[in-house]
Amino acid sequence: MRRLIVSAVCLAALGLGSSALAAQPAVSAAKAHPADQCFPTQSVSGFSRVDDQNVDVTVGPRDVYRLTLFARSPDIDWSQRIALQSTGGSWICSGLDATVIVPSSLGPQRYPVTQIRKLSPAEVAAQKTRP
DSSP string covering 31-62: HHS-GGG-EEGGGEEEEEEEETTEEEEEETTT
Q: Which residues of the chain have pLDDT under 70?
A: 1-36, 130-131
Give the β-pairing of 39-40 and 44-51: unpaired
pLDDT of residue 45: 92
Cα–Cα distance measured from residue 107 to residue 112, given in angstroms and rounded to the nearest whole number = 16
pLDDT of residue 1: 44
Element (H, E) at 68: strand 63-69
pLDDT of residue 57: 94
Cα–Cα distance measured from residue 128 to residue 131, given in angstroms and rounded to the nearest whole number = 8
Number of other CB atoms surrounding residue 33 within 10 Å: 15
pLDDT of residue 55: 93
pLDDT of residue 13: 40
